[in-house]
Structure 1
Amino acid sequence: MQSIQITAPSFDAFRRVELPEPTQPGKGRILVRMKAGSVNFADLAVASGHYPGALYPNIPLSDGAGEVIAVGEDVWQVAVGDRVAIHVKAHWIAGRPSAELANPMRGATLPGSLVEIAELDAASVVKLPDHLSWEAAGTLPIAAMTAWRALESAQIGPASTVALLGTGGVSIFALQLAKARGARVIITSSSDEKLARARALGADEVFNYRQDANWDASVLERTGGVGADLVIDPVGGEGFNRSVTAARHGGTVAAIGFLGGGATPLDLLSVIFREVRVQGSNGGSVADLAGAVAAMAAHRIEAVIDRTFGLDDLKKAYELMAQGGHFGKIAISFDW
């Protein structure tokens, strides 16, 4: 069977290779014919040598979805023919994280999705709703799960306000899922065209941070000086204190990325006196992904895909992710 490997930390290190096709899966295991996936910031970190403990050569791409083609003994979670999303944290099924559960990562320290047939633990996949295409399903494991876990952690509901930075994959899923939970959503972007698209998806308030860099003050103004119950921050860096300022007393800042850098001069007095909870995010469990998928099924939520690439254009997909500026997700169709 065919696979793609990354042999070194470089966008030029993707290689097609032939691997032995797996046989009948063992107890609790399944075989999945992989159909699609998507590119995440973690994949960029692997391809640029910035992911701790990443293996080379390895099968890249964390996100993936496919069709179950064989099941082993004692598999009850899925049946042959089921469409499934494959969770990126293969060992973290449910409950609180630990280093042993949260650190192993598909596409980085474990084999990823760029393979024709994957052998997996049956407990590490989630059945998909029928309304999602393969490409849409392949965008769920990291972004939808991360958004859902942040909303759950902050107990977001109809009386809540959520502030989202940018219009990448997690932010757009968080917009859709927060609206499904009845929350008010404020979203930022440097593009008026993207803000218009966010409004069409249900955003209640939008503003362009290039025109007004003091976006935290804008959030406070639009919440009557109270602030947001949850701020989802994929940027970090020098601007992270703005996320803390934009949160309400007792609110939550979900730190989900470091596009602006990993170091931040955190205003600890603001965190202490306003009792703001800073919640780091290193993924989530299969149960978290299942929650996101169930909400998408109940509300018929569609994944928002900026562009879809084939396997021959894998490098271009990574380059687009590195450039930023996309709206929603960058999907990969597995056209073997």
Structure 2
Amino acid sequence: MSRLSNYLFLGAILTTIVLPSAAQASDVDTLKLVYSEQYQPRLYDAKIEAIKAATVSAQTSGRIMNIHFDVNDLVPQGAALLEITNKEQGAGLAGAEAELAKAEALNTEAQAQYIRYKALFPKGAISKGAMDEATAKAKSSKQAISAAQAQLVKAKEGLNYTVVSAPFSGRMTQRFVEQGETISYGQALFSGYDNQHLRAVFQIPQQDIAQVQQQDQVTIQLLNGDEITSNDIQVYQFADPLTHQHQVRVNLDVSNMQDVIVGQWTKVIVNFPSRTSLMIPLSAIHQVSDLTSVYRKNAGEIVLNQVRIGRIDRQHNTAEVLSGLLEGDEIVIDAGRYLIMSSAAKGQE
């Protein structure tokens, strides 16, 4: 209970203190206790993970000429991560372009011959065999253009693969190659994650599943004190065979936050159903060593009453009373002020 020291006045323990009647009537502010509905927040330890993470691999072979990013760098989507030698791929592209030009020229000749034969065939100047040959040649030359175009697309892609680009914006976590290395198809190059799409992952016991599934939203409390509210909650419908707990994922919107780091631990706050509690102001608590008490009115007198305190609400500066008080009891709101007043009154006697 040492956290209460900022709100309490430390003084001598008085078993029973009676103020002058005038002071009791006008100088001492009291509070009559009533039960109130209170949410019971439950905290779970969670870890921040990336929703989107990937390892970029080589899609062609060659020697690395330039590396533009390193581990921990923020990389925009589509940025060039590294460049590979492209002489072989460039030659392949030039060859594909030449093949396409050749196919187009042959097709032009074949189509012109087909048109001429088609005009002469009804007049009997062209034999049926020659006409069939011209027709077949016209069709095959047109298909040759399609094949050449496909090879050109393949060659262009092969050339594009010599510049490895980031599939999405994010932070780089690993680099597997060095400048000057010769790489092969399928070799891992970089790993990274999307730093704008994160989630908090934590475990819950079986008895909490129903309550967590009913939550409209939960709160994620970061180490720096910031809080993120999310309503994108996913509860696994199967338990871990070792711990018998269920995993929960909470997707976060961190587009406007810079302090959310993948791998860090955080707290997830889930508000469980409310229950009736007696809440008293922190200023009413008088604590000396391990004794926690309040000043309570009893038959016209004010006496020191020991209590046991539970959850403390720092936002409203109140504490839950677990035992020692009942509904209808009247307590002094400011224990420190009351102790000073009672000491001054005794000194004047």
Structure with larger Rg: 2
Greater share of strand residues, 1 or 2?
Answer: 2
TM-score (norm 1): 0.18
TM-score relative to the length of structure 2: 0.17
